Amino acid sequence: GESVGLHLPTLSVQEGDNSIINCAYSNSASDYFIWYKQESGKGPQFIIDIRSNMDKRQGQRVTVLLNKTVKHLSLQIAATQPGDSAVYFCAENWATDSWGKLQFGAGTQVVVTP
């Protein structure tokens, strides 16, 4: 079956640097993508989303890039802070279903070092 996956299970970033978290997807029919942040002991928290008719979307310190040609999604975090340490999930909307089911990737652990 088609699935969402992440390239790196763990990403170590120095405080102040930019982080880039990657995600590959294989369902060409997906039309909506979302990034979640999950801190230890907490539920996933919405960060940013993007629809397939866009290539880039910016939020506060975060940017999501979508490359439909190679089915790749990335989350960029500017000036990474200790509070950014968490697991980050990407998810895609399987539009082939009659409703928007979200398919989640396994997650990337981001560790911010001083």
Does residue 112 belong to the site contacting other proteins (CB under 8 A)? no
- Distance from C-alpha of 90 to C-alpha of 75, rounded to nearest angstrom: 9
Does residue 45 belong to the site contacting other proteins (CB under 8 A)? yes
Does residue 83 belong to the site contacting other proteins (CB under 8 A)? no
Smallest CA-to-CA distance from 73 within 91, 94, 47, 53 is with 91
Out of 21, 66, 107, 112, which residue is the one contacting other proteins (CB under 8 A)? Answer: 107
Instruction: Using the minimum distance from each CB to other proteins, give the nearer residue, 80 or 103.
Output: 103
Pairing of strands 108-113, 10-14: parallel
Please state the closest distance from residue 60 (CB atom) to other proteins, in A.
Answer: 17
Does residue 42 belong to the site contacting other proteins (CB under 8 A)? yes
- Distance from C-alpha of 92 to C-alpha of 65, rounded to nearest angstrom: 14
Does residue 2 belong to the site contacting other proteins (CB under 8 A)? no
Does residue 34 belong to the site contacting other proteins (CB under 8 A)? yes
User: Hunting for tokens 């120095």 — which residue is that?
Assistant: 14
Could you tell me if 102 and 35 are in contact, meaning their C-beta atoms sit under 8 angstroms apart?
A: no
Residues binding other proteins (CB under 8 A) = 4, 32, 34, 36, 41-46, 49, 89, 91, 93, 99-107
